[in-house]
Amino acid sequence: MTDWPNHAEAWRVWRDALGGERMHHGWLLAGKAGLGKRDFAIAAARELVAEPGVSQPEGDHPDIIVLTYGPKDEKGEKAQAEGKPFDLARSIRIKQIRAMQRRLITRPTLGSRRAIIIDPADDMEKSAANALLKSLEEPPVGTFFLLVTHRPARLLPTIRSRCRTLRFPVLNDSQLAAMLHAAGLPSDPQAVAAAEGSFGTAVRFAEQDLIPIARVMAALIAGGDDGVTGRGELARLIGPRADRERVQAVLDLAQSLVARAARISEDSQARARLIDAHGALVALATEAPTANFDAGMLPFEIGSLLVAAAPASEPAHG
């Protein structure tokens, strides 16, 4: 498991609570995506359910239930049952919560405690969140909930109010670079900076080979594009048939670079252009998965939005 240098305080709080007289039954593990919150949840749950003298399994634990994105449809459920690849749903559904609740009727298998991990809890359907609330209000004895959340504000206030929050800080650039090196992945200052403290994002940028793309994007933001040379290079690096995952990673990279440039800019007009470009990139990222974009033109659209943020920039579509 990854060694997370940003988990020290969370472990201190968790273990203090674990050693106390009354362990809170609901926990929010809050922080941006890519900070190891799921790893923490699994390790913390194993500490929670372990009991002296009771042998614990190395792999999946019968008293740790993990709910995350399931199959998108019945076809996916059949493929999952057959051990075949399947498309994931974009939310955690009420039937998953109901299935978990049915298991809570029985006693834990190995000891007196059971842990329920929901990751990410902020992607529960509204009906699923309402169903979970009933379990949080009247939890069975020995049942504890660890809700991994990237955007706590999306959770029902009544869920937040029934949980204790553990916050996970972002990693600094040197920590990110060291973690990438330990994982055998390249680290580039531009890409590390664009990851904005998220190891998960930094890994995605490295695995998608976005370091050259980051350099071209930074040049477009700083100096614009005389003609379309820079945007043409950006399109070449992204590739003519980039899949959805790569396109999303590219859009995330563009947003991060523009946001970072806006934060450090001391020119109010330049900052305004960068903020406008960031808003347009966010909108494009929302539209791209469903809109009928020409795959070859999307990189030019991204590049033009970056150029629009540059000093003495041309119009975004100019």
Q: Which amino acid is at 154?
A: R
Q: Is the N-terminal amide bond of 120 cis, ω within 30° of 0? A: yes
Residues of the chain with pLDDT under 70: 1, 289-295, 312-318
Backbone angle region of 171, left / alpha / beta, with phi > 0 → left and psi within -120 to 50 → alpha = beta
**pLDDT (0 to 100) of residue 316:** 47
Q: 166: Cβ–Cβ under 8 A, 6 or more apart, which residues?
A: 10, 13, 14, 27, 28, 29, 30, 40
DSSP string, 88-157: BPSSB-HHHHHHHHHHTTSPPSSSS-EEEEETTGGGB-HHHHHHHHHHHHSPPTTEEEEEEES-GGGS-H
pLDDT tens track for 96-107: 999 999 999 999
**Best CA proximity match to 191, nearest among 208, 169, 166, 170:** 208
Supply the pTM of this predicted model.
0.85
The span from the CA of 193 to the CA of 174, in Å, is: 10
Burial 219-235 (b: 16+ CB within 10 A, else e): bbbeebbeeeebbebbb
The shares of helix, strand and coil residues in the chain, as percent rounded to the nearest 5, are 50, 10, 40
Domain 8-167 CATH superfamily: P-loop containing nucleotide triphosphate hydrolases (3.40.50.300)
Q: Are 234 and 317 in contact (CB under 8 A)?
A: no
What is the number of other CB atoms lying within 10 angstroms of the CB of residue 185?
Answer: 13
**pLDDT (0 to 100) of residue 189:** 84
**pLDDT (0 to 100) of residue 243:** 85
**pLDDT (0 to 100) of residue 292:** 61
- For the chain, what is the largest distance between any 2 Cα atoms, rounded to a whole number of angstroms? 72
Instruction: List the structure tokens of 230.
Output: 């820079």
Backbone angle region of 142, left / alpha / beta, with phi > 0 → left and psi within -120 to 50 → alpha = left
